[in-house]
Structure 1
């Protein structure tokens, strides 16, 4: 039997070990390779939106991953979501945006859904995705979005402690308002791991584990 291959497209080198560990756990025997371009998110921030030229680069990376032998492709940055959906229509293998399985799970978990992010360019596409997945599921929801001002800048400057403190405070506040919290960025997942049990009053879903579990259940473990 030919070995299956998963191509991962990242906008940060820091996510490679996160997904590598998850793939080892849930996708044993599946070959993986990584494509990384950290200028994509920087360009989205500087230009204020996901521009057509950035979307074209995402499509080029997806096509490159297919050419490199990927049977399945996962794009691990939520800010690129709309471009990922467009790119998926142009290749012959399944392409997944990292936040779709998480959005579906959040819709199943509750009616009042909180979405939290450190970048507005991520908060908006993920919030839009949750609304569309809820509509597809035929479920009415109430969405509460929260932006952690200053957290991303702190993380980029090397101040992880400040990033974690801002995100933790936002999680505590949002937990009093919703049934489930969705983390719009994979980089926020490690903050949840450090929360006290008293802060985990509602389910908190993150994209990396849910995306890999979805791939395992839908494509690789058939």
Structure 2
């Protein structure tokens, strides 16, 4: 099995490799392609533009040529996955949709935490779409100020603030917390007020494995 991952941050490579090991995938299953300029352009534009979407779709289609599946790991770029999947030779997995599907399946109140403002609308749409299938209630929250910490290289402060926000969500009555961006995944281990939050690397890889098995 060969799964290709399109990232917008180099730090996600290690996160996905750790998630793959946890799921028992052999070394070499993942190939990583990092294109930070796509997210930087979206941040500068205030969100996903048609040009950024076209550029992302072209990259995804190119990666699909000899892959069993392609994972789009950036939640800001997530909406492009559906378009790319229509013409790609392999399944294109939008990892935040896999996350939303897993979270909504629990029912109750789902709180999805976001770190960067450009992903809020895309995250809201995908979580609400999945919630309508199960009757879950969705609350999308931006963790303020943490993206500046991430950009400054303060990984510890970034993850600590996310864990604090997750604990606060459980204190507010959340049934499950979902960490909507791959870069947030390691914060899940520090959450104490409720179930371990769901993360998009684990959800996306599990979805890819299921798609490959069913083909």
| Coordinate RMSD, CA, aligned | 2.0
How far does residue 155 in structure 1 lie from its aligned partner after superposition? 1.3
Which residue number in structure 1 is paired with residue 204 of structure 2?
Answer: 211
* Residue 32 in structure 1 maps to residue 30 in structure 2: yes
TM-score (norm 2): 0.90
Instruction: Find the partner of 1:180 among 157, 176, 189.
Output: 176
The aligned length equals 213
TM-score (norm 1): 0.87
Q: Runs of 5+ in structure 1 lacking a partner?
A: none
Q: Runs of 5+ in structure 2 lacking a partner?
A: none
Which residue number in structure 1 is paired with residue 141 of structure 2?
Answer: 146
Task: Summarize the Cα distance change of 1:66–1:204 in structure 2 as closer, same or farther, 3 Å threshold.
Answer: same
SS of 2:78's equivalent?
Answer: helix
* Residue 162 in structure 1 maps to residue 166 in structure 2: no
Instruction: Find the partner of 1:75 among 72, 75, 78.
Output: 72
Larger Rg: 1
Task: Summarize the Cα distance change of 1:161–1:66 in structure 2 as closer, same or farther, 3 Å threshold.
Answer: closer
Which residue number in structure 1 is paired with residue 43 of structure 2?
Answer: 45
CA contact (8 A) 2:123 2:140 kept: no
* Residue 14 in structure 1 maps to residue 43 in structure 2: no
CA contact (8 A) 2:99 2:180 kept: no
Which residue number in structure 2 is paired with residue 23 of structure 1?
Answer: 20
